[in-house]
Amino acid sequence: MWGNSEILQKLFEWAKENLTPEEIKHKLLLMTDEEGRTAWHIVAERGNSEILQKLWEWAKENLTPEEMNNKLLLGRDKYGRTAWYLAVEKRISELLEKLWEWAKENLTPEEIKNKLLLMTDEEGRTAWHIVAERGNSEILQKLWEWAKENLTPEEIKDLLLGTGKYGRTAWHIAAVRVNSEILQKLWKWAKENLTPEEIKKLLLGNGKYGRTAWHIAAVCGNSEMLQKLC
């Protein structure tokens, strides 16, 4: 596990004794590195729930609600990723749930919808695409439950059919990663939420290089997945 909670605690105590409130705010809690990441982003990426909890408590003591929301919960790095998105990317379920709870307590429904669930990175990928790529069925299930609670039927369709920069849906990505379990979940949800024409669009949709999910499964040599797609 990355990060030492005890050392971080001492450093923050020394900071409170020697720095001004403005220095603590701007040079510690909100400071970003060359990739636009705050300590908040880095801890989310490294997966240390205990340290993230400490950062949250210190943020509540030293930042305004607007700063907590816009700089921490919704703050993006240079690649367009929030801490929540990084927790999805790194497949850290416990951390993702903690960030989700804080988001529900502090953000508006519109912010949760547009800046977390439907947010895209610099390549046009939602968290949905990332989970399909990383292959974590548990996190995909969580995202689906949260989507059903917070999105309209049309927005859920957009999630299922959404393509990133390279024209690939989560469906394509699951085929590329040869992940039959993820593909099965996506297919189940597609049948429950899409029209026959939209399902046809999903099956026949091709990415940047003109390949459907069926082509991808064939290229990857996965007979089980090819059987499901046929």
pLDDT tens-digit series, residues 1-15: 445 778 888 888 898
Angle in degrees, CA 167, 86, 98, rounded to 5: 130
Same domain, 114 and 16: yes
Structure tokens at 13: 């105590």
Identify the pLDDT of residue 48: 84
Is 125 inside any structural domain?
A: no
Same domain, 7 and 109: yes
Is 151 inside any structural domain?
A: yes
| More confidently predicted of 170 and 82 | 82
State which residues form the domain around 171: 139-230
Residue 202 pLDDT grade (very low, low, confident, very high; cuts 50, 70, 90): confident
pLDDT digits (tens, 9 = 90+) for 41-68: 999 888 888 889 999 999 999 999 999 9
**Above pLDDT 70, what percent of the chain?**
85
Cβ contact 39:48 at 8 Å: no
Residue 230 pLDDT grade (very low, low, confident, very high; cuts 50, 70, 90): very low
Question: pTM, whole model, 2 decimals?
Answer: 0.80
| More confidently predicted of 165 and 40 | 40
pLDDT at 149 > cutoff 90: yes
Average pLDDT over residues 151-167: 89
pLDDT at 35 > cutoff 90: yes
Same domain, 170 and 101: no
Average pLDDT over residues 196-212: 73
SS (H, E, C) the chain: CCCCHHHHHHHHHHHHHHCCHHHHHHHHHCCCCCCCCCHHHHHHHHCCHHHHHHHHHHHHHHCCHHHHHHHHHCCCCCCCCCHHHHHHHCCCHHHHHHHHHHHHHHCCHHHHHHHHHCCCCCCCCCHHHHHHHHCCHHHHHHHHHHHHHHCCHHHHHHHHHCCCCCCCCHHHHHHHCCCHHHHHHHHHHHHHHCCHHHHHHHHHCCCCCCCCHHHHHHHHCCHHHHHHHC
What's the total number of domains in the chain?
2
Average pLDDT over residues 59-78: 93
Same domain, 112 and 161: no
Q: Which residues contact 223 (CB under 8 A, 6 or more apart)?
A: none
Residue 206 pLDDT grade (very low, low, confident, very high; cuts 50, 70, 90): low
Same domain, 115 and 148: no
Same domain, 153 and 73: no
pLDDT at 86 > cutoff 80: yes
Is 111 inside any structural domain?
A: yes
Average pLDDT over residues 127-149: 90
Same domain, 14 and 67: yes
